[in-house]
Every structure is written in C-alpha cells, then in structure tokens.
Chain A
C-alpha cells in the first residue's frame, strides 16, 4: 500500500520560498515506472498541476509554464521522499498543495497542505 505523507509550513510570507516535502512509503522515489508530482487546488484555479520528478536511468523534471521560473522539485533517495520549492510567492500562491504518485494517472495522493501566503 503506497502512502504519501506531506510536511511543511502552512504560512509563508510574500516574496519568500514555499517548501514542502512528501515522504513515500510502499514505493520508491527511484521507481522506473512512476513519477512524483505536485498539484495545488484553489477556489479560483481548481486543480493545477505544478510539476514532477521521475527516474528513467537518470533524473528528469517537468514543470508547468505558469511556475517554471520559480519552481524546483527534487528527489531525495536517502530518505525516499521528494520536495517542492516555490520561490517569490505572492498571495495568488495560496492554495492546498498535494503530492501524488503519477503514472498515466494520479493514483495515490498526500493528505494536502493548506499554504497561506500572507505577511
């Protein structure tokens, strides 16, 4: 049974960096058949895919154009987890952030973290 456990702060100040971590159990971040995604949900935008990391003999990343200049997703093989960093946040980045396992679909999700961007 795959489980994803998210951690990270729920409040970030404008212009600072949002950082979240997703710990994986029941699968490996280095799996050759999965990707590890970040998605966010807000009332104004619905579900928005942010990016992913995956291993296919080497590490790859894909990012949404809307955040490409500000986002980094990194795997941590020693802890079997992956992380999200979003720089220069504004109140528009306020959302519930989810990590998920991706293949051709997103079948396992983290519990979600409400991140509020406010001073």
Chain B
C-alpha cells in the first residue's frame, strides 16, 4: 500500500492567515490521482482538489493544490472562519486508495 504522510498533524492559525499543508507519498503518485478533502465535525468529507491542482466545482479559489511525484501541497491563501476543519490528502493511483492521517486546522 502507498502510505500518505501529512504534516503538520495540527496547526493553529488566525483568520486571514496563509496556511500550507504538505502530503508525502511513500512512492511516486501520478498527480492525476492525488486529491484533497475537507472534513468538518458532523458532516461528510468534501472534495476540495482533485488531480493535485484542479479545484472542485463550487470550492472557493482561496484553496489551491500543487505538487508532483511524492510531494504535494494544499494551500489556503486567506483562512476564513468556515475553513477550520481537518484536511486529508488521498491517493487513488493504486489500490487500495489511501488517505493521509489528517491535518487539523483550528483557531489560534
């Protein structure tokens, strides 16, 4: 299985901050198969970014993704109150699809 490791595991930030979350794969992942999700308590996870850098329909443009090979990044350019959540990367390049352990973003 491809292991996905996110860093940091948690972070505290203020509204308006720029936030960067990294995701490292244990082996190279075709960037077409690297996705990011937002998960808020009591809600279903929400697809934010697919294919490493493509913004899912309806997702605000302050979210962006980049990377290739084994290293990928999710950036929130200006954190908003509704962005406090846990973020997960996921590879769907090989079976089984695997998730990172999550990065919890909370209020400083």
Q: Which residues of B contact A48 (CB under 8 A)?
A: 99
What distance in Å separates the Cβ of B95 from its nearest Cβ neighbour in chain A? Answer: 5
Instruction: Map CB proximity to B onto A46-58 as digits: 1 under 8 Å, 0 otherwise.
Output: 1111000000000
Interface residues of A in 15-58 (CB under 8 A from B): 39, 41, 46-49
Q: A49 CA to B100 CA in the complex, in Å?
A: 11
- Whether the Cβ atoms of A106 and B47 lie closer than 8 Å is yes
Which A residues from 75 to 108 make CB contacts under 8 A with B? 98, 102, 104-107
- Please count how many residues in chain B sit with their CB below 8 Å of the partner chain's CB atoms: 25
Is B53 in contact with chain A by the CB < 8 A criterion? no
- Is there contact, CB below 8 Å, between B88 and A111? no
> How far, in Å, is B101 (CB) from chain A's closest CB?
5
Quick check: B44 and A46 within 8 Å, CB to CB? no
- Which one of B11-19, B31-39, B74-82 is at the interface? B31-39
User: In the complex the two chains form, is B47's CB within 8 Å of A107's CB?
Assistant: yes
B56 within 8 Å of A by Cβ?
yes
* Count of chain A to chain B residue pairs whose CB atoms are closer than 8 Å in the complex: 56
Q: With a 10 A CB-CB cut-off, give which of A46, A105, A107 has the most chain B CB atoms.
A: A105
Residues of A within 8 A of B (CB): 39, 41, 46-49, 62, 64-65, 98, 102, 104-107, 109-112
Kindly list 9 other residue pairs between chains A and B, CB separation below 8 angstroms, not including A46-B99, A47-B102, A107-B50.
A46-B100, A46-B102, A48-B99, A64-B96, A98-B44, A102-B97, A104-B32, A106-B37, A106-B45
Chain B residues in contact with chain A, CB under 8 A? 1, 32-33, 35, 37, 39, 43-47, 50-51, 56, 88, 90, 92, 95-102
Q: Can you spell out 13 A-B residue pairs with CB atoms less than 8 angstroms apart?
A: A46-B99, A46-B102, A47-B45, A48-B99, A65-B96, A104-B35, A104-B50, A105-B35, A105-B51, A105-B92, A106-B90, A107-B47, A109-B46
